[in-house]
Amino acid sequence: MQRAGPEEAAGAQAAAGGGSAAPAGRLLRRELRLLESIFHRGHERFRIGSACPDEISCEFVPGTADRAGGSAARGPPPGPVRIHCNITESYPAVPPIWSVESDDPNLAAILERLVEVRRGDTLLLQHLKRIISDLCKLYNLPQHPDVEMLDQPLPAEQSTQEEVSSEEEDEEMPEDSEDLDHYEMKEEEPADGKKMEDEGIGKENLAILEKIKKNQRQDYLNGAVSGSVQATDRLMKELRDIYRSPSFKGGYYAVELVNDSLYDWNVKLLKVRPSRVDEDSALHNDLQILREKEGADFILLNFSFKDNFPFDPPFVRVVSPVLSGGYVLGGGAICMELLTKQGWSSAYSIESVIMQISATLVKGKARVQFGANKNQYSLTRAQQSYKSLVQIHEKNGWYTPPKEDG
C-alpha cells in the first residue's frame, strides 16, 4: 500500500488554526452524497465501496472492453485498484490523505501529484477527479464521461426540523464540541456500508470493536480523550483487517488490547515458521519444549503506537520468552529497519509487520534461552537498545543480506 505524502497535510493543519468545523462537516456530507450518486457500487469504472465523513474506500476498475487502441504501452492490472482516503476533522483546510493497496510506483506518483490540485471547498471531489483521470491515462483508457459530473453543483442539504433544532443548539455550544462529530458521524454510517465494513469478522471480535467505540465516546464525554483522530481511524482499520485475515483466523498469531487501549497491543506469535509449508523451525520446537515446562508455547510481542501513527512506526519489543539470536537486542528490542523512521512506510499494514517479525526471528536463528533471567526484558531497556540501534545505523547504514539468506 502507498499513500500521498503527509508533509503537506501536516503543514496545512498547522496553518489552518481555528475556523468553523460545522459548516465544513455539512459540506463534506453533501460531497459524499454527490459522490455516491455518481460512482455507485455497480459503476463500470469507479466504485465507492463505503463512505463516511472520515474514511472512504473505493476502487478503480480498469476492465478491458474500452481500451484505447490495442497496443497500449501499459496494460490494466489484474484486478481493481483499491484506494483508501482518510479525512481529518479539519477538512478542507487539511487535504484528504490517500493511500493505494499497491507497491506500483506509478500509482504512488498519481497520489503525490494531488498536491498540485487547487484547494477549494470541494477538494475531495477535485482530488477524485484527478485520480480517476490519471488512472485512465495510466492504463490507456478513455476518460469516463461521469468524471465531469464531479464539477456540478452539490446537492442541496437535506435539513429536517430535528436537524434545524440541532444546528441552533450547536451555535450555543463551545467550538470543541465539534470533536464529538467524529464519533457521532460514524454511528450514522449507512447500514449497507457498515455491513461491508464488518464482513468476515467473527462475533467475538465485532464485540471488541464495538467496545472500543463505546469507550472512545465515553472518554470524550469524560474529557479524557487520548490519541488522535488520524491514528485511531487507522488503528481501527488495522484491527478490522486483522480480524478478517486468514492468518489470524488460522491461528498464526493472536492480538489482545492492553487494558482495552487501541494504542497498546500484545501480539502472540503462535506458529513460528519460515513459511507455512517449511518444516518446523528450531524456534518452533523450542516453543514446544517451553509449553511442556511453563505452559506457554508462543512469543509475546508488545506493539505501542503514538498519536502520529501511521506516519511513525510502532515501537515493538519482545516481552517473553528471553531469546538469543533472531536480531533481538537487549531488553527485547528488535533490530529491523522497517521498525525505524528510516525504513518505515505508512503503507505497511500491522499484519505484514507481524508476519515479517515472525519470519525474521526464524531466519535469524532465534532460540529460547531456557533458565534465563526473565527480568532482563523491560520497556526501559528495550527503548535504550532501540535508541542505540538507530544511532548506529544512521551512521553506518543497514546491511542487506543476500537473497538466498532471505
- Active-site positions read 335
For residue 263 the three cell numbers come to 494504542
Q: For 50, phi and psi rounded to 5 degrees?
A: -150, 145
Strands (E), 195-295: 253-257, 264-269
Q: At what angle do helices 229-243 and 350-363 cross, to 10 degrees?
A: 60
For residue 312 the three cell numbers come to 511513525
CB contact at 8 A, 134 and 141? no
Query: Could you count the other beta carbons within 10 Å of the beta carbon of residue 373?
Result: 8
Q: For 255, phi and psi rounded to 5 degrees?
A: -125, 130
Residues 6+ apart with CB under 8 A from 305: 231, 235, 262, 263, 264, 265, 314
**C-alpha dihedral, 380 to 385 to 390 to 392, nearest 10°:** 150
Residues 6+ apart with CB under 8 A from 177: 170
